[in-house]
Amino acid sequence: MFQSFLIKYAEIGIKGKNRFIFEDALVRHIVRTLKKVDGTFKVTKEMGRIFVFTEGDFDYEGTIEALKTVFGISGICPVQILEDEGFEHLSAAVADYMKAMYGDEKKTFKVAARRANKKYPLDTMELNMELGGVILDACPNLTVDVHNPDIYMTVEVRDKIYLYSEIIPGPGGMPVGTNGSAMLLLSGGIDSPVAGYMVSKRGVRIDAVYFHAPPYTSERAKQKVVDLAKEVAVYTGPIRLHVVNFTDIQLAIYEKCPHEELTIIMRRYMMKIAQHFAEETGALSLITGESIGQVASQTMHSLYCTDAATTIPVFRPCIGMDKEEIVTLSKKIGTYETSILPFEDCCTIFVAKHPVTKPVLKTIERSEKKLADVIDDLMKTALETTEVIHVEG
What minimum distance in Å lies between the beta carbon of 289 and ligand ATP?
3
* Binds 299: which of Mg ion, ligand ATP, none (CB < 5-8 Å by kind): none
Segment interacting with ligand ATP (CB under 6 A) among 9-17, 71-79, 148-156, 342-350: 342-350
Choosing from 72, 189, 237, 317, the residue that interacts with ligand ATP (CB under 6 A) is 189
Segment interacting with ligand ATP (CB under 6 A) among 112-120, 126-134, 159-167, 288-296: 288-296
What minimum distance in Å lies between the beta carbon of 324 and ligand ATP?
13
Site string for ligand ATP, 126-165 (x = CB under 6 A): ----------------------------------------
- Type of residue numbered 38: D
Contact (Cβ atoms closer than 8 angstroms) between residue 231 and residue 241: no
3 or 294, CB closer to ligand ATP? 294
* Interior/surface letters 311-344, b for 16+ CB within 10 angstroms, e for the rest: eeebbbbbeebeeeebbebbeebebbebbeeeee
Choosing from 80, 288, 302, 335, the residue that interacts with ligand ATP (CB under 6 A) is 288
CA 96 – CA 234 distance, rounded (Å)? 37
**299-302 own/partner pairs: CB under 8 Å, 24+ apart:** 299/357, 299/358, 301/357, 301/358, 301/359, 301/360, 302/264, 302/267, 302/356, 302/357, 302/358, 302/359
Count of residues engaged in binding Mg ion, rule: CB under 5 A: 2
What minimum distance in Å lies between the beta carbon of 97 and Mg ion?
48
* Interior/surface letters 214-238, b for 16+ CB within 10 angstroms, e for the rest: eebbeeebbebbbbbbbbbbbbbbb
CA 34 – CA 59 distance, rounded (Å)? 10
Question: If residue 389 lies in a helix (H) or strand (E), which one and from where to where?
Answer: strand 387-391
- Type of residue numbered 375: I
Contacts (CB under 5 A) with Mg ion, residues 286-315:
289
Choosing from 5, 37, 154, 191, the residue that interacts with ligand ATP (CB under 6 A) is 191
Q: Report the residue number whose CB is nearest to Mg ion.
A: 191
Residue 240 backbone phi and psi in degrees, to 5: -90, 110
- Type of residue numbered 200: S
CA 389 – CA 86 distance, rounded (Å)? 58
Site string for ligand ATP, 200-239 (x = CB under 6 A): ---------xxx----------------------------
Contact (Cβ atoms closer than 8 angstroms) between residue 19 and residue 50: no
Quick check: 355 binds ligand ATP (CB under 6 A)? Answer: no
What minimum distance in Å lies between the beta carbon of 196 and Mg ion?
13
* Binds 23: which of ligand ATP, Mg ion, none (CB < 5-8 Å by kind): none
Contact (Cβ atoms closer than 8 angstroms) between residue 34 and residue 64: no
110 or 316, CB closer to ligand ATP? 316
54 or 302, CB closer to ligand ATP? 302
Three-class DSSP category at 128: helix
Segment interacting with Mg ion (CB under 5 A) among 68-76, 162-170, 187-195, 304-312: 187-195
Where on the chain is the footprint of Mg ion (CB under 5 A)? Answer: 191, 289
